[in-house]
Structure 1
Amino acid sequence: MSSILQTEQDDHGIVTLTLNDPDTRNALTGNSMVDDLLAELERLQRDPSVRVLILTGAGKVFSSGGNIKEMGRQIEPDVKVETLRHAYQFGIQRLPLALQNIEIPTIAAVNGPAIGAGCDLACMCDIRIAADTAFFAESFVKMGLVAGDGGAWLLPRAVGMSRAAEMTFTGDAIDAQQALAWGLVSRVSPAAQLREDSLALARRIAVNPPEAVRMSKRLLREAQLGRLDTVLEMAAGFQAIAHKTPGHAQAVHDFLNRRANKKK
């Protein structure tokens, strides 16, 4: 893996991917970051030993989103509209699809500013926790742009339409405490404690039977879009499968043993 994306895996099956391009404040464009993330997500999807993914940024910034120097090149007269459209479709737009479809739970540990596509990257994850120094800005309009990476789909599902519209139309930033109040993040940690808090949360997930966790994630994702009867039908099928997994059998065995021991 390239030096701008660092990968760590611990004994609990927790993988931490760290955006590490300080020269661009961990930008997602104008470098290989998207391709590197996609390659790593594909590898993790195939690895049954992985239980949870944490995504964070190196230094004091989570991600600055788009690279302004790259935007400068894109406005040159010889760059065609169709070329730019193709670049989005086969570039950064593959990232929300990959994070939507990966089976393992994902946690965005937002260690600092999450700007534009960086804000949307956090929204692509299942769970978001933030350092108290973090802030979030859906700031595309300030650059005369729209959220080309799926933010119009992602942000309303995180904070609701009214608040998403406010963030989108003003481009203004909200701090970590406001993000918590709006439901954009589920908790705020002191900056120095964010890494340990994110790992502690990941461990609480990783101790559960992995088959059930993966199917639960799929159900939650489908429930965002599907009808109740469709999700119920899927849940019935998943539950039938879950009843026959080793994780369920072990959990039932452990529970009955604990109850028997209490009666002694």
Structure 2
Amino acid sequence: MSVSPRETPADTTGADGSTEPPGPVRSDASVILHATDNGVLWITLNRPESLHAITADQREQLISDFFEASADPAVRAVVVTATGRAFCAGADLRAASPARPGEPVPGDVARVIRLGAQRLIGAVLDCEKPVIAAVNGIAAGLGAHLALACDLVVAAESAQFIEVFVRRGLVPDGGGAYLLPRLVGPRRAKELMFFGDALCAADAERLGLVNRVVPDGDLTQTVRAWAQRLAAGPTRALALTKQLVNSSLDADRTAAFAAEAAAQEINMTTADAREGVASFVERRAPRFRGR
């Protein structure tokens, strides 16, 4: 496992015997922790006193993290999680400041959304490595959308998902009106966004927002097992598969079939594809290298 140079690894076993995400101990200057473990980049939100409400600086760091993960051959899967009792309470409205002093200028709000929350969700969707959300508690507003933009979502039994915008008299942002109908259909999406009720982990799984719900103490172990399986897989094939699935939601059959054929053409030039075919012929397990 590698950690940031200014930090040291933490003991990953809790007092109750549960495991925590691998990573460095908290420092006051580090509100996002990073650790790479067997090809898996763990991104851990670390401002529990604010329930990990995302500031502009944190948002920009997260965007950078996802872009860097795409380009780093040592990273073959990404996990997003948080310390404490919440996953992410959304954008930090207390830390937000007006784009300009004085009277608001028409277009400022839309510009802030496009350059802020939407860029973060886009960075997750466009990341060329598979991304797992390990949701350890409340995921509200932008925090819920951050989780739902990930490729796979594993939730602790105590997790809750809340489309909190309506409670504040706001329109959903951060891609919510794009993500939710594609995950649960328009009627369920409207129910969640119109009422803003907390959705427990079991109900989120029933609706298809979550892949697995596990006891709180099993969350890290379950996610680590999935992430390591992904990290041992054919990285480029997974990236192309992710791209195909995401783009298919906005494409007709002709375009989707053309994209599929083009992706397979590209994928067949990779070393992992050649290894996969060779291992089948030779009747052995494949040894994928992410190339």
Q: TM-score, normalised by structure 1?
A: 0.90
- Tell me the residue number matched to 2:215: 190
Using the TM superposition, give the Cα deviation of residue 235 of structure 1 relative to its aligned residue in structure 2, in angstroms: 1.4
The residue aligned with 1:235 is 260
Mean alpha-carbon deviation: is it higher for 14-23 or for 237-246?
237-246
What is the CA–CA distance in structure 2 between the aligned matches of 1:209 and 1:126, rounded to whole Å? 16
Deviation (angstroms), 1:55: 0.7
Q: Distance in 2 between matches of 1:98 and 1:173?
A: 26
Aligned to 1:5: 32
Q: Which one of the candidate residues 86, 111, 136 is aligned to 1:61? A: 86
Give the distance between the partners of 2:168 and 2:175, measured in 1 at CA.
Answer: 17
Residue 171 in 1 paired to residue 196 in 2? yes
1:198-230 CA-partner distances (Å, limit 9, x unpaired): 111112222221121111111111111111111
Tell me the amino acid that sits aligned with residue 100 of structure 1: L
Shift of 1:10: 1.0
Cα distance in structure 2, aligned partners of 1:77 and 1:147: 25
User: For 1:126, which of 144, 151, 154 is the aligned residue?
Assistant: 151
CA distance in 2, matches of 1:258, 1:66: 51
Aligned to 1:148: 173
- TM-superposed CA distance for 1:165, in Å, is 0.6
Classify the secondary structure of the residue corresponding to 2:199: strand
Structural mapping, 1:1-264, within 5 Å: 3-11=30-38, 13-29=39-55, 31-70=56-95, 78=102, 80-81=104-105, 82-258=107-283
Structure 2 gaps of 5+ residues are: 5-28, 285-291
SS of structure 1 residue aligned to 2:87: coil
TM superposition shift of 1:96: 1.4
| 1:66 shift after superposition | 2.5
Distance 1:234 1:257, change over 3 A: same
Aligned-pair CA distance for 1:84: 3.0
Runs of 4+, deviation exceeding 4 Å: none
Aligned-residue Cα RMSD (Å) equals 2.1
Return the alpha-carbon distance in structure 2 between the equivalents of residues 136 and 236 of structure 1.
37
Secondary structure of 1:212's counterpart equals helix
Instruction: Give, as a single letter, the amino acid of the residue that structure 1 aligns with 2:204.
Output: A
- Could you tell me the percent identity over the aligned residues? 36
The secondary structure found in structure 2 opposite 1:172 is coil
Q: Distance in 2 between matches of 1:157 and 1:169?
A: 17
Whichever residue aligns with residue 174 of structure 2, its letter is D
Q: How far apart, in 2, do the equivalents of 1:153 and 1:9 lie?
A: 31
Provide TM-score, normalisation by structure 2.
0.82
**Stretch moving more, 250-259 or 187-196:** 250-259
Are residues 124 and 79 of structure 1, via their aligned partners in 2, closer, same or farther at CA, if it must alter by over 3 Å?
A: farther
Counting matched residue pairs gives 256
